């Protein structure tokens, strides 16, 4: 059973045809890297999966449940599918620790002590424990992104989506963030990663999906060869 299944999915923004007959499966434990030119629909595809955008036609199944024909609550989906954005999107008026514990306490109803213990463990994992009482504005972009990843993991999602997580970072910060993503992948997290980082794709991806002009143009499990050709 696929965790995510696109069946003949079309997406229009007004008259603009952003996704064209997408048929794709994403399996549990898989790391899929999505590449393609700017404007090819990569971000739209991710945003459809976690309900930030709705599809125009076709079916999008999450754990065999149709995202649109049944009464699935978006909050339920977002509990299971985390997202890391290009621009981090941390809450500016909350500390690093509070950024991470907020949703587990509110949405998962974790008690505060458990949420803090988990947040500290995750911050340690991403190398940010010493900044737990800082505010986002005091951190570099790379540090903020590592916090954002810890925040995504704190919901203990089934899958984590990454939308160009290193594109807004200064070059010297990119390696730290990619290393954290590699660790998470090795832990077995299911991931879909939109990125231009070919080194990451070669090293970590089980599969590459190449999009252009709203279509999936190519798909390959032979990632090494894909980039050599």
Q: Which residues make up the interface to ligand ADP (CB under 6 A)?
A: 13, 16, 18, 36, 38-44, 86-87, 163
CA distance 53 to 47: 5
Smaller CB distance to ligand ADP: residue 38 or 229?
A: 38
CA distance 193 to 4: 14
What lies within 8 Å, CB to CB, of 39 at 6+ separation is: none
Smaller CB distance to ligand ADP: residue 18 or 90?
A: 18
Integer angstrom CA distances of residue 10 from 80, 131, 186: 23, 43, 33
For residue 97, the minimal CB distance to ligand ADP (Å) is 25
Closest CA to 148 of 123, 169, 171: 123
Smaller CB distance to ligand ADP: residue 12 or 183?
A: 12
For residue 82, the minimal CB distance to ligand ADP (Å) is 16
CB 144 within 8 A of CB 176: no
For residue 37, the minimal CB distance to ligand ADP (Å) is 7
For residue 196, the minimal CB distance to ligand ADP (Å) is 10
What lies within 8 Å, CB to CB, of 51 at 6+ separation is: 67, 74, 77, 78
Integer angstrom CA distances of residue 179 from 41, 128, 148, 149, 194: 26, 13, 14, 12, 16
> CB nearest ligand ADP: which residue?
43
Smaller CB distance to ligand ADP: residue 43 or 110?
A: 43
Closest CA to 184 of 161, 216, 218: 161
For residue 117, the minimal CB distance to ligand ADP (Å) is 32
Smaller CB distance to ligand ADP: residue 42 or 131?
A: 42
Smaller CB distance to ligand ADP: residue 20 or 87?
A: 87
For residue 110, the minimal CB distance to ligand ADP (Å) is 29
CB 118 within 8 A of CB 110: yes
For residue 164, the minimal CB distance to ligand ADP (Å) is 6
Q: How far apart are the first and last CA of the chain?
A: 32
Smaller CB distance to ligand ADP: residue 13 or 91?
A: 13
């Amino acid at each position: 059973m696929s965790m995510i299944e696109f069946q003949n999915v079309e997406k229009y923004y007004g008259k603009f045809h952003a996704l064209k007959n997408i048929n794709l499966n994403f399996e549990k434990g898989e790391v899929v890297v999505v590449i393609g030119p700017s404007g090819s629909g990569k971000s739209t595809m991710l945003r459809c999966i976690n309900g930030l955008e709705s599809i125009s036609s076709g079916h999008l199944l999450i754990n065999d449940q149709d995202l649109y024909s049944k009464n699935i609550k978006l909050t339920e989906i977002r509990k299971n599918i985390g997202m890391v954005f290009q621009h981090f999107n941390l809450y500016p008026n909350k500390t690093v620790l509070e950024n991470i514990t907020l949703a587990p306490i509110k949405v998962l109803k974790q008690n505060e002590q458990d949420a803090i213990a988990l947040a500290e463990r995750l911050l340690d994992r991403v190398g940010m424990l010493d900044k737990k009482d800082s505010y986002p504005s005091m951190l570099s972009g790379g540090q903020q992104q590592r916090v954002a990843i810890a925040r995504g993991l704190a919901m203990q999602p089934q899958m984590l989506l990454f939308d160009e997580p290193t594109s807004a970072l200064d070059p010297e910060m990119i390696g730290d963030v990619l290393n954290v993503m590699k660790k998470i992948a090795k832990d077995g997290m299911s991931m879909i990663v939109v990125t231009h980082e070919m080194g990451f794709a070669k090293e970590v991806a089980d599969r590459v999906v190449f999009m252009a002009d709203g279509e999936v143009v190519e798909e390959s499990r032979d990632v090494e060869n894909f980039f050599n050709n």
